[in-house]
Amino acid sequence: MEIRELDSRTASDEDLLTIHRIEAACAHEQPFRSPELSLAYYRVWTDGDRRWWLAGELGAAVLMSMPPSFNQVQLMVLPAARRRGIGTALLASVVASAREQGLQSFFAHHSDEAGAAFARRVGAVDDQREVRSKLRLREVELREPLLPVGWRLQTWTGAAPEELIDSYARARAAIDDAPTPGDMSLEPIDAAWVRRMEQTAVARGRESRVTVAVDAEGVVGSFTDVRVSPPPSPVSTTDDTATLVEARGLGLAFAVKAESLRRLRDERPDVEVIRTMNAEQNVAMRAVNTKLGFVPVVIETTTVLSL
């Protein structure tokens, strides 16, 4: 099987739609995202490097590397084409490229027996598990959020207001406490990163809807960011949610998420489902999500391959 490397920024729609079809066939969450959104994801990203490989129309792999050490791989083979060595061949291309780039390790996810067996066979070591959950926006009862005295909620769509950008970037950086597979790390988040990320969302045709909790001094203590495509867009995804360490335990994460979802429900009648993903051991975030009405759909195990 010939393996062909692609630069997804310049690849043809046809090649990218082949990747989309393979991803959709391997996905546990259905309906899968639209082909248009897949193309936007493949072509536009914020930081780091991405390389794709295609095995004809049967399998695809991507190596997404972000300095200093957050390296993720996706490896997918159509169910009807498995156990013919295609996954092995794709992985060989990924490993060769990762070594050439000087990477020490990368992680991938598996969520069924085939993926687990493949990972074991190639010597990857299982790490944390991630829970993918969904909320049916039209069916859950979303209580009006209550805030501690002195706090207020603020919501915007698109770019953060200039007067909040630094404080908002610090709240976004609180996501760094979220557990990562193999203790891999990312560059620290700052205001410039937030601006790049906002531009990425625009270039992908995504609306970024941010709700923050702000204290009396104007400090952003907690935020949530949901992403949605232009209507009709039945599925929306949570980007990130985090609370500053010193503001935890006050109910802020619940408040920002409840507010964000209530507004989305009222302003976007086309949105039916919200998806999110959390590390299984992230008890606090999962408790907030459960209280809001999210229900688990699938558990994915991260597995780390050291090079």
Ligand X SMILES: CC(C)(COP(=O)(O)OP(=O)(O)OC[C@H]1O[C@@H](n2cnc3c(N)ncnc32)[C@H](O)[C@@H]1OP(=O)(O)O)[C@@H](O)C(=O)NCCC(=O)NCCS
Shortest separation between residue 66's beta carbon and ligand X, angstroms = 19
What letters, b where the CB count within 10 A reaches 16 and e where it falls short, cover 77-114?
bbeebeeeebbebbbebbbebbeeeebebbbbbbbeee
β-strands 59-66, 70-77 pairing: antiparallel
| Residue 238 near residue 224 (C-beta atoms within 8 A) | yes
Shortest separation between residue 70's beta carbon and ligand X, angstroms = 17
129 binds ligand X (CB under 6 A): no
114 binds ligand X (CB under 6 A): yes
Measured CA to CA, the distance from residue 294 to residue 288 in angstroms comes to 9
Shortest separation between residue 42's beta carbon and ligand X, angstroms = 17
| Residue 138 near residue 190 (C-beta atoms within 8 A) | no
**Which residues, numbered 62-91, are part of the site for ligand X (CB under 6 A)?**
75-77, 82-88
Q: Which is nearer to ligand X, 236 or 301 (CB)?
A: 301
Round to the nearest angstrom and report the end-to-end CA distance of the chain: 24
State the angle between helix axes of 13-26 and 35-43 in degrees (0 to 180), rounded to the nearest 10. 110
Shortest separation between residue 301's beta carbon and ligand X, angstroms = 9
**Which residues, numbered 277-306, are part of the site for ligand X (CB under 6 A)?**
303
Shortest separation between residue 205's beta carbon and ligand X, angstroms = 27
94 binds ligand X (CB under 6 A): no
Measured CA to CA, the distance from residue 133 to residue 125 in angstroms comes to 24
Q: If binding means CB under 6 A, how many residues of this protein chain bind ligand X?
A: 21
Binding site for ligand X (CB under 6 A): 26, 75-77, 82-88, 108, 110, 113-115, 117-119, 121, 303
